A = this chain, B = another copy of it.
Amino acid sequence: MTRPNQAQPPVPPSSATVIIVDDDAGIRASLDSLFRSVGLETRLFGSPAELLGSSLPDGPGCIVLDVRLPGVSGLDLQGQLVRQGISYPIIFMTGHGDIPMSVRAMKAGAVDFLSKPFRDQDMLDAVTAALERDAQHRAEAATKEDIRAQYETLTAREREVMGHVTAGLMNKQVAALIGLSEITVKIHRGNVMRKMGVRTLADLVRKAEALGVSQTRGTTDHT
């Protein structure tokens, strides 16, 4: 089970890491210098393979990536990282890009797409936007992970009951539905409330929504 992480203080932007992937050592060096000058950590890689083979930091950060790279294209790397569960926001750079390439990257969720040469300030603005997006994403993921960790402490029966209860069924309906006595459903329900860390049905419903749980039949509207 994961430790609850909702108590973590917001990480100051200065501790974020920018992952730089470019086959040109000169570019790597100048980006490294640029980012360090504003207090950001950096990790340098000459190829996608290096990046994939290394253990990445799990703190806040983003990736600055050349589209045209030895071995894998930057756009392909984007897909591979997603498959590996790495979801840093990506900023693309290119020396010889075209419009379809930039559009494809943006459709795939890139934060920005800069043509070389670019102004330092444009790159810094893009990184700032990327780190903001990452922070947002991390906050949401942390909240959701806490809820999921609680959900995983539930037994199968408790989850079943939780689904029906958050769908709006009464205890007796749940009991009839899964062939139990009402008192047993009440016990499971009480366990669910305790394990999910909520005291009211309203809060339980919200957590269930966040999890995508709850057998939502159309119980609404009785005009």
Residues of A within 8 A of B (CB): 94, 97-100, 102-103, 106-107, 112-113, 115, 165-169, 197-203, 205-207, 209, 214, 216, 219-223
Q: DSSP class of A's interface residues: helix, strand, loop or mixed?
A: mixed
Flag if B223 contacts A197 (CB, 8 Å): yes
Residues of B close to A197: CB separation below 8 A: 220-223
Q: CA of A221 to CA of B7 in the docked complex: distance in angstroms?
A: 12
Question: Which of A197, A199, A200, A202 gathers the greatest number of chain B CB atoms within 10 Å?
Answer: A202
Residues of B close to A97: CB separation below 8 A: 99
In whole Å, how far is A92's beta carbon from the nearest beta carbon of chain B? Answer: 9
9 contacts between A and B (CB under 8 A): A94-B99, A99-B99, A102-B102, A103-B112, A165-B202, A168-B199, A197-B223, A198-B221, A206-B216
